[in-house]
């Protein structure tokens, strides 16, 4: 009899973390590997945020805090939602966790019963389905095609909702595609949800500030009839280059926020006091650097998309935000290349050209691969040259 629980057997390790770890191991072994798998900004955390953390350490702010966030950080989050999203929340509608991932995990653990369905548009962030499975729920994957811009349509949403549906996950801009839902697209989805009063929405807004081409961000909680059924998750990891600080937060119905706090009180307890102090400064401090960094990301995006679309057999849409592209490699999966799947493609690319990317099937859509361009232009130029050479040699 195995000591490992049945619930753990239902899930798999994170593919994106696995690719990043593989790249590290190859580099440690002396290989010149370019890792394009990690969803992590290559920029440093801004100095004013670092100084706030140092100040917290020096002033002895190193003790336990309230389980679900310090009063100061909750106030900063409340101000953020009002300032940027025109949403009003009270402190008992805010929770803070050790990264956005923990907030999402807590939400599912505290709300899902066995057999409850969670609608997940694909391509999706790799952790969504496994979190649902761990919580005893059932992921209901709805494939969203390239023709649809990799976005859920009202027609597909309406068809997917059943008596067992508890949550819909929306991620805009998206990981892995960078696709963003316009205000009208959100409003059209909202019309379906307003009619289905038992469905809650988990809005993953972690890439809110990383967007391009005058794309206007709109979150579904701004639809007044859905605010009481929406949990809006965000964090400081991506926009503020604070991945290692591990601070995520969410705003939503008091009942859900209280339940999340109950879960957290018996698991990790409070996030780091130092990281919370830094997050206060991130949210309250000067925001000007965000636009400058988004401009740099846009330059990288444009270069990567242009380079990929100049490779025979590769096709890549131009995303609205985040720092990913999700190109198709279907034109290279055939008898001539001896590649049958996107997994074959990314494995051979790593083996032959020392470029690490993630297969699209890990995100729920076969025939694609994800590139993170959150790295230097120098690395990207080398990587694009290698990918082009690899693909040309296949043909």
- 294 and 250 belong to one structural domain: no
At 35-73, the pLDDT tens digits run 998 889 999 999 999 999 999 999 999 999 999 999 999
> Residue 302's pLDDT band (boundaries 50, 70, 90)?
very high
> Residue 26's pLDDT band (boundaries 50, 70, 90)?
confident
- 29 and 84 belong to one structural domain: no
What are the C-alpha distances in Å from 38 to residues 4, 81, 238, 353, 370? 29, 28, 12, 18, 10
Q: Which residues of 304-322 are buried (b: 16+ CB within 10 A; e: fewer)?
A: bbebbeebebbebbebbbb
Q: Quick check: is 389 in a domain?
A: yes
- 355 and 298 belong to one structural domain: yes
- 205 and 348 belong to one structural domain: no
Of 13-22, 170-179, 206-215, 268-277, give the lowest mean pLDDT range.
13-22
What pLDDT shows up at residue 21?
82
Q: Which of 243, 259, 284 is the last residue of a domain?
A: 284
pTM exceeds 0.75 for this model: yes
CB of 360 closer than 8 Å to CB of 139 = no
What pLDDT shows up at residue 31?
86
CB of 41 closer than 8 Å to CB of 234 = no
Q: Which domain holds residue 295?
A: 6-44+289-394
> Two tokens at 354?
């020392």
What's the CATH code of the domain at 241? 3.40.640.10
Torsion angle, CA of 209/215/221/225, rounded to 10 degrees? 170
pLDDT at 87 over 90: yes
Give the three-class secondary structure for 321: strand
Q: Which of 284, 303, 335 is the last residue of a domain?
A: 284
Mean pLDDT of the chain: 96
Q: Which of 264, 284, 304 is the last residue of a domain?
A: 284
Q: Quick check: is 322 in a domain?
A: yes
């Amino acid at each position: 009899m195995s000591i490992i629980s049945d619930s753990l057997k239902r899930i798999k390790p994170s593919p994106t973390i696995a690719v990043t770890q593989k790249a590290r191991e190859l580099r440690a072994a002396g290989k010149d590997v370019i890792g394009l798998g990690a969803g992590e900004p290559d920029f440093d955390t801004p100095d004013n945020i670092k100084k706030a953390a140092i100040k917290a350490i020096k002033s002895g702010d190193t003790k336990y805090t309230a389980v679900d966030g310090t009063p100061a950080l909750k106030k900063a989050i409340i101000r953020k939602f009002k300032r940027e999203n025109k949403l009003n929340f009270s402190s008992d509608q805010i929770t803070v966790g050790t990264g956005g991932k923990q907030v999402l995990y807590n939400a599912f653990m505290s709300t899902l019963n066995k057999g409850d369905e969670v609608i997940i548009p694909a391509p999706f962030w790799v952790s969504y389905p496994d979190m649902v499975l761990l919580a005893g729920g059932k992921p209901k994957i709805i494939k969203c095609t390239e023709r649809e811009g990799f976005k859920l349509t009202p027609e597909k949403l309406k068809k997917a909702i059943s008596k067992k549906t508890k949550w819909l996950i929306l991620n805009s801009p998206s990981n892995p595609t960078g696709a963003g839902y316009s205000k009208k697209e959100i409003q059209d989805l909202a019309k379906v949800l307003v009619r289905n009063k038992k469905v809650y929405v988990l809005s993953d807004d972690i890439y809110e500030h990383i967007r391009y081409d005058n794309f206007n961000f709109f979150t579904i909680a701004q639809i007044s009839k859905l605010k009481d059924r929406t949990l809006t998750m965000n964090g400081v990891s991506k926009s503020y280059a604070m991945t290692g600080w591990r601070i995520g937060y969410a705003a939503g119905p008091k009942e859900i926020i209280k339940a999340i706090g109950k879960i957290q009180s018996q698991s990790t307890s409070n996030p780091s006091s130092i990281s919370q102090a830094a997050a206060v400064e991130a949210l309250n401090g000067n925001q000007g650097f965000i636009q400058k960094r988004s401009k740099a990301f846009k330059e990288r995006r444009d270069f990567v998309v242009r380079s990929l679309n100049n490779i025979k057999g590769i096709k890549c849409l131009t995303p609205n935000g985040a720092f990913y592209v999700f190109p198709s490699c279907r034109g290279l999966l055939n008898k001539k290349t001896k590649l049958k799947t996107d997994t074959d493609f990314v494995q051979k690319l790593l083996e032959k050209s020392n470029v690490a990317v993630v297969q699209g099937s890990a995100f729920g859509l076969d025939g694609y691969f994800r590139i993170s361009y959150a790295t230097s232009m120098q690395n990207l130029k080398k990587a694009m040259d290698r990918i082009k050479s690899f693909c040309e040699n296949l043909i």
